Amino acid sequence: MRLAAGACPSLTGEVVAKLEAQGVRGVRDLMLRDCEDLAREASVSYRELRSIRRVAITHHSVFAVSGRELLQEAICTTQVFSTGCKMLDKLLEGGLTTGEVMEVCGASGEGKTTLCLQLALHAALEQGLCVLFVDPVGGLNHLTMNPLVEALPHDSQVVDNALSRIKVTGASDIWEVFAALRIATQPFIPVRCGRLGKGGAQGGNLAKIKLVIIDSLASVMLPLITKEDSKQGLAILNQLAVRLKTVAKEHQVAVVVVNNAVQAGSGHNNLQHHTPKPKWMPTLGRFWRSVPHIRLYVKRVRGTDPPVIVNATSEDECLAPKSPLKLSVAVWKGTRIKTGKAVVTLPLASLRQSSSESSS
């Protein structure tokens, strides 16, 4: 930290120039030099130099705090809010906790995005929280959101206000993910309240982001860490890990990241050792294993959601699960919770039903 003129009455521009002429360019240099020798060599008043040192110590030193003070601060600032699923709350010992990074991993098509949408909708609807949803893969569309929204037993205006508290942003690369995380560090962001009135007038207020969901990290990080020269990719991954934990801790935000899971030992050399119960592991490599505070493994419960053909238009024809959707959620890692397993039920409205209601 450099010495800046005006930090105290004694630290004028002339004094700064004299100190720099003697090699004192920062606070560290000032602390390491003897006051009497420096005052004589720089032709500065000894009393003024002691005053400058006291101000520097006051502004830049770290004061020790007791464990009781740290615990009290954690109790006052940490929030725990429900996920909307009783079994998942029980598994997480209360729900999502601010200051933590939770990872949801699983194979493709196992319901990770649906679970994250449930977390976002419940936080915005039932608890009035503001949510930031970062969508690098572009998986957030009407086909994924409509079944969850249509199943909500609330008035349309209440749902509309809740959806306005979910801020969605895309990210084509990892640098746009970093840019999106800056939104969570803002003190307040505008939130729309109510529907449009006459002349397009619309009410609104300010809110703080309390939940950040990134779906998913693997889509933007794997191209960087799987190439031949992966040193730069691993450095970016480490920078991202530090950034996520900093946002969660310093701004008291609950961070949820989605990661893929791959079968361990799925290479060609291991085909002869195939087992009926293959082991799965999260992607992003061993450098990422220690980053999340909690890691959940999500797997769709087979036999509970047979696919049905939705015949709307040729473009919208797709496979959609029947309601309800059951997911098996297991704790793979937990710094404050025990390992366990639970079945989470997500109510979904049939797309066939919702499309027919909208047409009528």
Does a structural domain hold residue 97?
A: yes
Percent of the chain with pLDDT over 90: 26
The answer to whether residues 193 and 330 belong to one domain is yes
**8: in domain:** no
Question: Within a domain: residue 186?
Answer: yes
pLDDT at 180 exceeding the cut of 80: yes
The pLDDT tens digits of the residues spanning 278-297 come to 577 888 888 888 899 999 99
- What does the pLDDT look like over 295-344, one tens digit per residue? 999 999 876 554 444 444 444 444 444 557 889 999 999 988 888 999 98
- Whether 203 and 221 map to the same domain: the answer is yes
Instruction: Identify whether 318 is part of a domain.
Output: yes
Domain shared by 28 and 130, yes or no? no
pLDDT at 305: 52
Return the pLDDT at 210: 93
Full-model pTM: 0.71
pLDDT digits (tens, 9 = 90+) for 37-76: 888 888 888 888 888 888 877 776 666 678 887 778 777 7
146 with 284, same domain: the answer is yes
* The predicted structure's pLDDT at residue 272: 39
Domain identity same for 71 and 56:
no
Question: What pLDDT is stored for residue 257 in this prediction?
Answer: 95
CA–CA dist 214, 149 (Å, integer): 20
List CB contacts of 275: < 8 A, sequence separation 6 or more. Answer: none
| Tokens encoding 173 | 């690369």
pLDDT of residue 137: 80
CATH number for the domain that contains residue 236 = 3.40.50.300
Who has greater pLDDT, 5 or 117?
117
Residues 22 and 126 occupy one common structural domain: no
pLDDT computed for residue 231 by the predictor: 83
Q: Which residue type is seen at 267? A: G
Which of 60, 78, 93 is the last residue before a domain boundary? Answer: 60
Q: Which residue reads 């699983």 in tokens?
A: 106
Per-residue pLDDT, averaged over 241-270, amounts to 81
pLDDT beyond 50 at 360: no
Q: Which of 60, 75, 98 is the last residue of a domain?
A: 60
Pair 33, 104 in one domain: no
Is residue 308 in some structural domain? yes
- Do 47 and 114 reside in the same domain of the chain? no
Q: What is the 3-state secondary structure (H, E, C) of the chain?
A: CECCCCCCCCCCHHHHHHHHHCCCCEHHHHHHCCHHHHHHHHCCCHHHHHHHHHHHHHHHCCCCCCHHHHHHHHHHHCCEECCCCHHHHHHCCCCEECCCEEEEEECCCCCHHHHHHHHHHHHHHCCCCEEEEEECCCCCCHHHHHHHHHCCCCCHHHHHHHHHCEEEEECCCHHHHHHHHHHHCCCCEEEEECCCCHHHCCEEEEECEEEEEECCCHHHHHHHHCCCCCHHHHHHHHHHHHHHHHHHHHCCCEEEEEEEEEECCCCHHHHHHCCCCCCEEECCCHHHCCCCCEEEEEEECCCCCCEEEECCCCCCCEEEECCCEEEEEEEEEECCCCCCEEEEEECCCCHHHHHHHHHC
pLDDT at 205: 77
For residue 354, the model assigns a pLDDT of 41
In the predicted structure, residue 166 carries a pLDDT above the cut 70:
yes
Which residue in 329, 261, 354, 357 sits closest to 114, CA to CA?
329
Per-residue pLDDT at 61: 67
Together in a domain, 19 and 148: no
Q: How does pLDDT run across 207-245, given as a tens digit for each residue?
A: 889 999 998 888 899 888 887 777 888 889 999 999 999
> Taking 70 as the threshold, does the pLDDT of residue 167 lie above it?
yes
Residue 197 has pLDDT above 60, yes or no: no
pLDDT computed for residue 241 by the predictor? 93
Residue 82 near residue 126, CB atoms below 8 Å: yes
Range of the domain at 174: 67-359
The rounded distance, in Å, linking the Cα atoms of 194 and 162 is 10
Question: Which range, 70-84, 128-142, 249-263, is most confident?
Answer: 249-263
Q: Do 31 and 169 reside in the same domain of the chain?
A: no
Position 22 scores a pLDDT of 87
- pLDDT at residue 298 in the model: 92
Of the listed ranges 17-26, 27-36, 52-61, 89-98, the least confidently predicted one is 52-61
Number of domains in the chain: 2
pLDDT of residue 192: 67
Are residues 143 and 251 both part of a single domain? yes
Q: Is residue 105 part of a domain?
A: yes
Asked if the structure places residue 7 within a domain, the reply is: no
How far is the C-alpha of 318 from the C-alpha of 307, rounded, in Å? 9
Q: Long-range contact list for 73-82, CB < 8 A, 24+ apart? A: 74/99, 77/252, 78/252, 79/210, 79/252, 79/254, 81/123, 81/127, 81/129, 81/210, 81/211, 81/254, 82/122, 82/126, 82/127
- Check: CB of residue 174 under 8 Å from CB of residue 223: no
- 126 vs 5, more confident: 126
- Token pair listed for 323: 């309601």
| Spatial distance between the Cα atoms of 190 and 250, rounded to a whole number of angstroms | 21
**Cα end-to-end distance, the chain, whole Å:** 67
The amino acid occupying position 66 is S
Does 130 share its domain with 275? yes
Say how far apart CA 41 and CA 29 lie, in whole Å. Answer: 14
Would you say residue 297 lies in a domain?
A: yes
Confidence category of residue 177, pLDDT binned at 50, 70, 90 = very high
